[in-house]
Structure 1
Amino acid sequence: MLLEQTDKPFSDGRYIFEPKIDGHRLILSRRGGVTKLYTRHGNDVTAKYPELITAGPDIILDGELAVMDPDTGVPDFELTMSRFHGRKLPIVYVVFDILLYEGVDLRSLPLMERKAVLDRAVSDNGTISKTVYADGRGEDLWDAIVARNMEGIVAKRKDSVYATGKRSDNWLKVVNYTYADVFIGGWRKEKFGWLAYVPATNGRLRPAGAIELGVPPTHKQAFYGVAKSLITGEDRDYVYLEPRIKASVKFRNWTKSGNLRSPVFVDFILNGQISA
């Protein structure tokens, strides 16, 4: 089951609110004593996480696999990807739903009934943990998440069934974005992407990744109309510009290498102001 996105946190007694864990989605399926682990896209990653292979009844769990930052105790996406690619780091599988238990398909049950089964079926340990949630108080949870600089929250209707593979506003995510102003210093020739630059400590500009998301067609058209007069050169993959076009972006966080993680275009900045 996939999530729609909404811009602002809210409180509503029809919903529960969970922390959004900054890792990667993982389905755990154990049938006939054989455990398999799958990513959201159906890739078999069983061999990557042997600590999740345990004995027990037939069960299918949905959750998020993460590695925690040892200093802050919050999920760290870069460490999670390091573990995914083979680095030996301790994991936590944060379980938020149960789809099958002891041969019974639970997907048509309301969320809170599935949660009750999950409480009986799964015991927290050092590797597997059931997610916590706030009943109706989304804004309170949001404030706590922002204070810890975590990824965001997920709002879920208490009466929602589990609709496999579909996006639904029964599950809504609110992302704790960071905002920054960047200069656009070029673009990719193949897959769309504007090259983002930010000020470095020496006062010059340094590259900080590529803006791929959120750019409306009208803004693309306006950009290329202006950018043609700013071209300074090109190579096989990129066209380079004088970095005179400025934009506001929102993004998940700064990576350890100083790049914007998953930047989303907000708008151009004209004379210090966001354009209309």
Structure 2
Amino acid sequence: MFVSPMPLVERDTPFDDERYIFEPKIDGHRLILSMENGIARLYTRHNHEVTSRYPELLRVPILDNTDVVLDGEVACLNPATGTIDYESMIERYKLRKPMSIREAAIRQPVHYFVFDILRYEGQDLRSTPLVERKKILERALSSNRYMSPLLYVEGTGIDLFETIRRSRLEGIVAKAKSRSYVDGEDVSWMKIMNYERAVFQIAGYRKNQFGWLLRYQDRNVGILEQGVPSAHKNAFYGVSKSLKKDEDRDFVYVEPSIQARVRFRHWTREGTLRSPEFVDFVVS
């Protein structure tokens, strides 16, 4: 049984409010786990079944082995540091061959952080207030090496966000205690991201689709596609004609004299930006 997951609305700043619970935002991908007649199936938020990709999650530690629908985030942990490793998660997700998946389940296992229970013991719980669903989840689901209820705090989002920021983790999630689980966006479920910010040079642009080539400390670090207003695009292209240096099949290269302030999720292993978004031009 697939249930469409309730999405998060983005908010810029953390806050304190006793009407809310606050959770760490896990840097993996959303996963719905449905178990009927003792058989577990796994679905992405877009209703793609991925049961075969995570065999370590198929023994669900539900006390009475009853039918259940869980909502959470699946992630990979770095065995050396214990921190969440998004790139390892993507590597696991892309595996298709059964032998490779079985080997990865031993060498690079995932962990399912469960933050909601939507069905239990034959009852649809989506209309039940979140704080009550949390209590049911804690009673129903045990922890094991591969699966556990996600920890949360009540009321104190600012302190949790500061802890997340110091640890360079992804962010936090705020959820209204009284809210039911709905199909579609609702402002009572919010994510507050821990973005990094820096200034980059624009060293070129794509020919066939929008994208600015970003440069940092004399090396290319990614393509900026998101968050650029039309007025800023037009201003850049008006100036860039006089800065052209070279071109190839895909890019026009310019003198890197135009700078942009960018926010992004983090640096990848290859030294590129994950999910860069335009903030503004830097005017010197």
The verdict on a shared fold, with TM-score over 0.5 as the criterion, is: yes
Matched, 1:58 2:75: no
Q: Map 1:148-227 to 2 at 5 A.
A: 148-164=167-183, 166-199=184-217, 205-227=218-240
Q: CA deviation at 1:220?
A: 1.1
1:247 aligned onto 2:223: no
Query: CA offsets per residue over residues 223-271 of structure 1, 9 Å max, x none?
Result: 1111122222322222221111101101111100000111111110111
Q: Distance in 2 between matches of 1:250 and 1:117?
A: 38
Q: In percent, how many aligned pairs have the same letter?
A: 52
For 2:56, give the aligned amino acid: E
Other structure's SS at 2:226 match: coil
How do residues 67-216 of structure 1 correspond to structure 2 at under 5 angstroms?
67-86=76-95, 88=104, 89-164=108-183, 166-199=184-217, 205-216=218-229
Paired residue secondary structure (1:109): coil
The aligned residue for residue 274 of structure 1 is none
Distance in 1, Cα, partners of 2:209 & 2:142 = 45
The equivalent residue for 1:15 is 20
The number of aligned residues is 265
Q: Which residue is 1:202 aligned to?
A: none
- For 1:79, the aligned partner's letter is S
Which amino acid is the alignment partner of residue 42 of structure 1?
N
After superposing on structure 2, the runs of 4+ consecutive aligned residues of structure 1 that deviate more than 3 Å are: none
Rounded Cα–Cα distance in structure 1 between residues aligned with 2:176 and 2:83: 25
Give the aligned residue type for 2:202.
Answer: I
Query: How high is the TM-score relative to the length of structure 2?
Result: 0.90
Q: Gaps (5+ residues) in structure 2?
A: 1-5
Structure-2 change in CA distance of 1:37 and 1:190 (3 Å): farther
Q: Could you tell me how far 1:100 is from its partner in structure 2?
A: 0.8
**Structure 1 runs not aligned, ≥5 long:** 200-204, 272-276
- How big is the shift at 1:72? 2.8
TM-score (normalised: structure 1): 0.92
**Within 1, Cα distance between the matches of 2:189 and 2:208?**
34
